[in-house]
Structure 1
Amino acid sequence: MRAGPPPPTRPAAPTEVSRRALVAAVAGVLVFTASAFVAVRHLRDAFAPGPMSLGRLVVGSVVLGLLLLASRSWRPMSARDWVATSAAGVLLFGVYNIAINAGAGRVDAGTAALVNQTAPAVIALLAVVVLRERLSRSAVLGTALAFGGVATIALGASSGVEGDLVGVLLCLAAAFAYAVGAVVEKPLVARVPALQLTWVACTVGAVACLPFAAALHAEVRAASASDLGWLVFLGVGPTAVAFAAFAFALRSMDASALGTTTYLVPPLAIAMSWVALGETPPGSAYLGGALSLVGVALAQRTGRGSRDPGPSHPDPARDRTTSHD
């Protein structure tokens, strides 16, 4: 689920029943997002990164398409919007998934989640260049801390004792692909319904992965029922259900507040990975991850100065969905 949420509006005051539903929705987003890293680790021997991406995106596209049909929320898109959405889909769903699948196949799920969490800091940097936004001093410090944390993880991995440097760099590449896609997508979220935007982007991502169709067919035939179940889970849970839960949660809470809950994803991924796979991150990942999370928090909390006059759009560095993984 790597497409941006709808434009933020004033949240409605939740009732007691809707509060429980809201808590369940937020918990669903976090659990599904964290579990995606564990699922990728589990499937690394059964599916190569490309075929795994195609299988997940096909399932996600079907489920999101059914949700879109049920919502009847389709809105006509201009040719320019189709081009931008397609570019975002290739990056957010195609390139991101292939890179994170390859990276998470080489490092533990917790390390992959920690490195991936730097995406908002990358978005902040890109927003300066592409969207002409200004960063405060605190945001500059936060961005530096975030990348210092990744450097700490990478240095530990480069020793060959505490992980895999190539895996860390692939996870970082995934974060960059997501960030570029989010910046491309930013103007669209004010004009295109969120569910429609996500379905189109996911479908484009699946089409971009079609060169892996033959390999996916062969790997599906050789896979166990359990592995096929995990592949379907990646498409249904982190891609489709998590997005629907995120969209539901946005109705009752600010996007920025919802975005801060994503800091729980790495600890959840570490715990799930330890229980399901018996894996824990190396020591350098804990230190580097802590630096990265503190840096991202600073970049998101105070990351925006004034910008050039223009249309107001949601900030993807704050409104970031995390089921992208």
Structure 2
Amino acid sequence: MRTEGSGSYRRAMPASASSSARLALAAAGVTVVLWASAFVSIRSAGDAYSPGALALGRLLAGTLVLVAVLLFRREGVPPRAAWPGIVVSGLLWFGVYMVVLNWGEREVDAGTAAMLVNIGPVLIALLGARFLGERLPPRLLAGMAVSFAGAVAVGLSMSGEGGHASVLGVVLCLLAAVAYAGGVVAQKPALAHASALQVTTYGCAIGAAACLPFAGQLVTEAARAPLAATANMVYLGVFPTALAFTTWAYALARTTAGRMGATTYAVPALVVLMAWALLGELPGAWTLAGGALCLAGVAVSRSRPRTRAAAPGATTPEEAPGRAGT
């Protein structure tokens, strides 16, 4: 046993729990880095593939990798109790979200899309409180407010004078945010009954099945798409989908949906850095300031106040008691 804090706020934490918390944080870090890299790949693939075809190609690539890993690990089919959450998250997050986001980003500039989609973590926290019984600690709310302000700053700086936004594009981006939030909240209870790999594999497969109406477009566009665009689509399926969604599920099973949603506010900051390093896009002062705010907000939202002994079985102060879905 080791302790954290001092004085009357000393709290005992088993070494195994501390190790699990570090692994969950590392998994969340892998997720946000790979999701940030997806924006760079989407720029290339999106020029050659339509929104539905790109989503289907990405999901098919991800499903093939995940099924192979699932068979290798012999994890089998999830129990019946996990299926409602898997089906809902597969349809909303893997299916609807990917299609409408690809479509929405064609109708609005990247900055506007980023601002609208970043409503998602706020919705996750609210839905988690309503349907999962999760608490909304002050540090989480404060951190999300800071990060959202940073996301708005990044979005405004990306929009610039050439920004554009249609009503259809705004609606699509808002729909993407709602689908993302709904998918995360539905996925959380499923992880109490099935492994992260099972939930991700079957959710991805359900999303791919929902996108099969775009199969004709995918075949036609793949025949004339440049190799770089197809390679980026495959990359999106293998890494930001198969790997990143699995590490996300692993971390989500070990914390609240609200805190995980707040963690994704690190993505805009990482996108800025990757665009700078890989595309040579020099960020302006507002962009850098917004990215710094995003990271600062994530740090605040994931910080833990020194507290008295938590209830038995609770993994974090805000999760005990009254947590649900785990």
Contact 1:146 1:292 (8 Å CA) reproduced: yes
Instruction: Tell me how far 1:203 sits from its aligned partner.
Output: 0.6
- 1:163-182 matches, within 5 Å, as 163-165=163-165, 170-171=172-173, 173-182=175-184
Contact 2:54 2:233 (8 Å CA) reproduced: yes
* Amino acid across the alignment from 1:182: V
* Amino acid across the alignment from 1:46: A
Q: C-alpha separation between the residues in 1 aligned to 2:248 and 2:295?
A: 21
Q: C-alpha separation between the residues in 2 aligned to 1:58 and 1:100?
A: 18
The answer to whether the aligner puts 1:196 opposite 2:198 as a matched pair is yes
Q: C-alpha separation between the residues in 2 aligned to 1:221 and 1:36?
A: 23
Contact 1:162 1:284 (8 Å CA) reproduced: no
The answer to whether the aligner puts 1:126 opposite 2:127 as a matched pair is yes
Q: C-alpha separation between the residues in 1 aligned to 2:324 and 2:178?
A: 25
Aligned twin of 2:185? 183
Instruction: Tell me how far 1:88 sits from its aligned partner.
Output: 0.8
2:38 to 36, 39, 44: 36
Aligned twin of 1:161? 161
Aligned twin of 1:4? none
Q: Normalising by structure 1, what TM-score?
A: 0.71
1:60-113 Cα offsets, whole Å, 9 max, x none, are 1111000000011124421x53233111111111122123323455544x8866
Contact 1:92 1:178 (8 Å CA) reproduced: yes
Aligned twin of 1:207? 209
* Amino acid across the alignment from 1:122: L
Structure 1 residues 135 and 271, CA gap change in structure 2 (3 angstroms)? closer
Aligned twin of 2:87? 86
Q: C-alpha separation between the residues in 1 aligned to 2:317 and 2:171?
A: 27
Q: What residue ranges of structure 2 are gaps of 5+ in the alignment?
A: 1-14, 305-315
* Amino acid across the alignment from 2:239: G
Aligned twin of 1:218? 220
* Amino acid across the alignment from 2:195: P
Structure 1 residues 126 and 175, CA gap change in structure 2 (3 angstroms)? same
Q: Secondary structure at the match of 1:10?
A: helix
Q: C-alpha separation between the residues in 2 aligned to 1:163 and 1:280?
A: 18
The answer to whether the aligner puts 1:273 opposite 2:275 as a matched pair is yes
Structure 1 residues 182 and 31, CA gap change in structure 2 (3 angstroms)? closer
Aligned twin of 2:307? none
Q: Secondary structure at the match of 1:133?
A: coil
Structure 1 residues 206 and 33, CA gap change in structure 2 (3 angstroms)? same
Q: Which moved more, 1:176-185 or 1:28-37?
A: 28-37
* Amino acid across the alignment from 1:56: R
Structure 1 residues 264 and 310, CA gap change in structure 2 (3 angstroms)? closer
Instruction: Tell me how far 1:147 sits from its aligned partner.
Output: 4.2
Q: Secondary structure at the match of 1:132?
A: coil
Instruction: Tell me how far 1:255 sits from its aligned partner.
Output: 6.1
Structure 1 residues 255 and 138, CA gap change in structure 2 (3 angstroms)? closer
Q: C-alpha separation between the residues in 1 aligned to 2:289 and 2:320?
A: 34
Q: C-alpha separation between the residues in 1 aligned to 2:277 and 2:70?
A: 35
Contact 2:94 2:203 (8 Å CA) reproduced: yes
1:211-230 Cα offsets, whole Å, 9 max, x none, are 21111121111101221111
Q: Which moved more, 1:304-313 or 1:209-218?
A: 304-313
Task: Tell me the number of residue pairs that the alignment of Structure 1 and Structure 2 aligns.
Answer: 292
Contact 2:58 2:236 (8 Å CA) reproduced: yes
Contact 1:136 1:305 (8 Å CA) reproduced: yes
Higher relative contact order (CA 8 A, sep 6+): 1
Q: Which has the larger radius of gyration?
A: 2
* Amino acid across the alignment from 2:271: A
- 1:55-94 matches, within 5 Å, as 55-78=57-80, 81-94=82-95
Q: C-alpha separation between the residues in 2 aligned to 1:104 and 1:280?
A: 22
* Amino acid across the alignment from 2:269: P
1:239 to 238, 241, 251: 241
Q: Normalising by structure 2, what TM-score?
A: 0.71
- 1:274-313 matches, within 5 Å, as 274-279=276-281, 285-301=287-303, 305=318, 309=322, 311=324, 313=326
Aligned twin of 1:319? none
Contact 1:133 1:308 (8 Å CA) reproduced: no
Q: C-alpha separation between the residues in 2 aligned to 1:281 and 1:137?
A: 32
